[in-house]
Amino acid sequence: MTESLAAAAPPAVRRVLLKLSGEALMGRREYGLDTDTVSRIAADIADVVAAGVQVCVVIGGGNIFRGVRAAAAGMDRAQADYMGMLATVINALAMQNALERHGVPTRVQSAIPMASICEPYIRRRAERHMEKGRVVIFAAGTGNPFFTTDTAAALRAAEMNCDTLLKGTQVDGVYSADPAKVPDAVRLDRLTYLEVLSRDLGVMDASAISLARENGLPIVVFNVHKPGAFARVMRGEGCFTTIFESD
C-alpha cells in the first residue's frame, strides 16, 4: 500500500461500491483469470480501505461465461444467465483470495445460496462487515436471470447506502463514442443520468442507470487498469467521468 493515501486527509465519502467487469480480470489473456491483474486490483482496493473507506465490490463473469452471448447462440436465456452468475462466484472467490493476501479481511456473499463456500446475501450482515473494515464482494448478480451485474451493482450500492458507485472500465471515463472505433471521440467529464440514456452511451445498462437516478447515486467511471487509479479517483485526482443528477 502507498503511504501517501493512508496519510491523506479523511476521505470525502464513507462507503463505496466498486463494479468490475469479468474482463477486467483477464489481463492480456483471451479468457479466464490473470493472477497478476487480480492481485494488482486487490492492492488498489487495499489502498483505499487503508484510507478508511468502506468498500464493497460486484464483479461480472464475462471472462468465463456470458449469458447473453450464449442465449444468442440458442441456449435458454434464463439457464445461460444462471451459468453466468456462477462464473461471478468464481471471480469473487479469486478476488477474495487476492485481497486476503494483501491483508484485507474479506467476505463473499452470494445471491444464490451456496453455504459451503460463501455467505448468503444478507443486507444487515454485509453492512456490519463493512463497518468492521471488511471488504464485501457480492456474487451471483441479483440472483435472478435477465438482470446484468451492472444492475446488481446499482441495486447493492443503493441497499448498502453507498455514497458512490465506481465503475472500473478499460478506458479513463465515458466518451462521446467508442474510442477504439472512433479515433476523435471526446472524453466527457460530467454527464447526467438522462444524457447517458438519451445518447445511448452504453456505460451501464438502462436499468442500472435508472436505479442509480432514482436513488440519487452518483456513478464514477474510470480506468481500472492504471495502477493506483482507484485511490486517485477517491481523492478526486486523475481522469474520470462523473454521472449525476443535474441541479
Are 49 and 105 spatial neighbours (Cβ–Cβ below 8 Å)?
no
pLDDT of residue 247: 56
Our measurement of the distance from residue 109's CA atom to the centroid of its chain's CA atoms, rounded to an integer in Å, reads 15
- Spatial distance between the Cα atoms of 119 and 108, rounded to a whole number of angstroms: 6
Beta strands in 85-232 (DSSP E): 106-110, 119-120, 135-139, 164-169, 174-175, 187-188, 190-192, 219-223
pLDDT tens digits, residue range 64-119?
987 677 777 889 999 999 999 999 999 999 999 999 999 999 999 999 999 999 99
- Residue pair 192/247 in contact (Cβ under 8 Å)? The answer is no
Q: Could you give the CA distance from residue 87 to residue 209 in angstroms, rounded to a whole number?
A: 24
Give percent above pLDDT 90 in the chain: 82
pLDDT band at 190 (very low <50, low <70, confident <90, very high): very high
Q: What is the pTM assigned to this prediction?
A: 0.92
pLDDT in tens, 123-167: 999 999 999 999 999 999 999 999 999 999 999 999 999 999 999
Tell me how far apart the alpha carbons of residues 128 and 131 are, in angstroms, rounded to a whole number: 5
* Domains of the chain, CATH where assigned: 3-166+187-237 (3.40.1160.10)
What is the pLDDT at residue 3? 40
DSSP-derived secondary structure letter, 27 = T
Confidence band, pLDDT 50/70/90 cuts, at residue 211: very high
Question: How many residues in total does the chain contain?
Answer: 247
Q: What is the pLDDT of residues 92-103, one digit of tens each?
A: 999 999 999 999
The b-or-e profile of 4-28 (16+ CB within 10 A means b, else e) is ebeeeeebeeebbbbbbbbbbbbbe
State the CB neighbour count (10 A cutoff) for residue 132: 10
